[in-house]
Amino acid sequence: MTDTTPMTHTPHIEATVVRSAEGPYIGQISVDGSITTIEGRTEDGVRRDIIRAVAGVAQRLERPVRLIARDSLGTQEVRVSPDGYTEALTPVEPVTTALDFDAIVGIGGAHNPGHAPVGDDDTVTQPAGRAAAVPDLEYLFQSPSEQAAPAPTAPAAPPAPAVPAAPRPAADQPAHRIAPPPAAPEPATREPRVPAPAGPKPAAESAAPAVPAQPADTEHLPTLDDFMAQRPAAPTAPAELGWQGLVRRVSFGLISPAPGEPELKRRDDIAAVQRTFAGPRTIVVINPKGGAHKTTATMMLAATFGEHRGGYTLAWDNNETRGTLGWRARPAAHHRTAVSLLDDLHRFSDSGTSRIGDLDDYVRAQGSAQFDVLASDEDPNATELIDGDAFDRLHHTLQRFYRLIVVDTGNNMRAPNWVRAVEAADQLVIVTTVREDTAASAAWLVDGLREKGLEGKVDHAVTVLSATTDAPDPQLARRLRGHFGSLTRAVLEVPYDPALVDGGAISYPLLSRATREAWLKVAATVAEGL
């Protein structure tokens, strides 16, 4: 009988994904040295199966577990929660040499360190092109006596099951299982296959039903992905905006027109903002001229992502001395800044004991906007600077707690921390007002980045044109769209809003609808590049 109480010790879990010489991807999971393998047609599919299997361990433990994952992207340690959510604990270390398939999967049992039996039931159980089976890790939760007990000898004829199993297609095989270490050799047995409900059997299957032959061509057999792709589209939610939404409200839902094109585009933008990223992402807002609306852009991007993603977003003032992000933010009960966090960074050196709540002593929560602000130094007598090394240390720590970091930069593009921020950026956002001086500064910045060999980041960047009046110069706006449109991935415009120009704390309820919608479009475009 299996003990269902949570396991008390912390298992050591590693997983590796490699591509075999025959084509399919092989995933190997090691839990306290016991090995299982998974096969799939794609690397992403094998990764998903591994996460599901490890999440099963976390569910039985009733707490997150750590996983050391290796694949073609590199090596990274992540925390896997019982619900399957993964959180990066370390940056990805790129692979320096190709992963050796034979060394990892093993030839002649090299992959099995003596904890799981080698044989037909400890090899890849799914043919190429078929959905991979998720390993059963229940043996970890068996009592010691159950793990040490020898397996009973199989009878000559298998007894009929108490509850008949549902028929499976002829192409199915038994699900793979990580077996507990037996005290005595266990005879290899294979579950007899239930014949397919319809269709003729291959000749080989009729002759040897215990070990059926595989179909000659498995490339065209349907997979789980094929099945899920045939699901009907989700029904469109009722209209909320425009005259369609008004008609639905005044008729108490009796008349419900379909959403209009503007509302459908808005929903697409929200979906883009809410998309899943493959790890923490960093957005860096740049323009070496003061007054270019960098801080405003940083706050609006963080607020838009926070509102629609539900938190784990940080706006960080990466000024080497003093910036104004803390002044534009909602105040906190403390006055600590990035320098304070840098001084106390040792508190967060142990990823197993530090928590995001511990950062509340250093960041400033922004209420319903659902993001935090890390201000730059506000002490007029301070002499300490945030240099490149300090940025790297802070960035490495903050990435453990936030999914999205929006970095506001200073005006000195030669400062080491400015340079490190640009190098760390997954997405650059070039901000300029519709003015000749700030636009010229942005153009000069782009030229400088390209000369430094960062043309890839420039090509991928998003340019934001911010209006400083109700009626910005249309001719200048056209020039800016043409110039930056040929240099960066996208150029977007945001309107003038009196609630953003007084220099004080930004009150989001006072922002106009046009301002909110414009920044939603900017955030969606930025998210598409992450």
Burial of 53 (C-beta count, 10 Å sphere; 0-12/13-18/19+): buried
| Domain parsing of the chain, residue ranges | 13-152+171-190, 238-273, 274-528
Burial of 409 (C-beta count, 10 Å sphere; 0-12/13-18/19+): buried
Helix or strand or coil: residue 430? strand
- Looking at residue 37, what is its pLDDT? 85
pLDDT confidence bin for 493, thresholds 50/70/90 = very high
In the CATH hierarchy, which fold is given to the domain comprising 274-528?
A: Rossmann fold (3.40.50)
Highest-scoring range by mean pLDDT, 24-33, 279-288, 329-338, 374-383: 279-288
Provide the greatest CA pair distance for the chain. 90
Cβ pair 482, 450 in contact under 8 A: no
With helix as H, strand as E and coil as C, how does 391-414 read?
Answer: HHHHHHHHCCCCCEEEEEECCCCC
Residue 38, amino acid = I
Residue 205: pLDDT over 90: no
- Looking at residue 356, what is its pLDDT? 81
Helix or strand or coil: residue 285? strand
Cβ pair 387, 319 in contact under 8 A: no
Percentage of the chain beyond pLDDT 70 is 72
Residues 81-95 pLDDT 10s: 888 888 888 888 887
Residues 240-272 pLDDT 10s: 887 787 877 888 878 888 888 888 888 888 989
Residue 357: pLDDT over 70: yes
> What is the b/e burial string over 76-90, where b = at least 16 CB atoms within 10 angstroms of the residue's CB?
bbbbbebeeebbbbe
Percentage of the chain beyond pLDDT 90 is 28
pLDDT confidence bin for 166, thresholds 50/70/90 = very low
> What is the CA angle 79-80-83, rounded to 5?
145
Average pLDDT over the chain reads: 76
Higher per-residue pLDDT: 25 or 478: 478
Within a 13 Å sphere around the CA of 91, how many CA atoms are in the beta-carbon half? 12
- DSSP 8-state symbol, 492: E
Q: Please give the order of strands across the beta sheet that includes 404-409.
A: 364-365, 372-374, 313-318, 404-409, 281-286, 427-433, 462-466, 490-494
Q: Tokens representing 105?
A: 């999967």
Work out the average pLDDT over 46-71: 87
CA gap 446, 413 in Å, rounded: 11
- Looking at residue 303, what is its pLDDT? 92
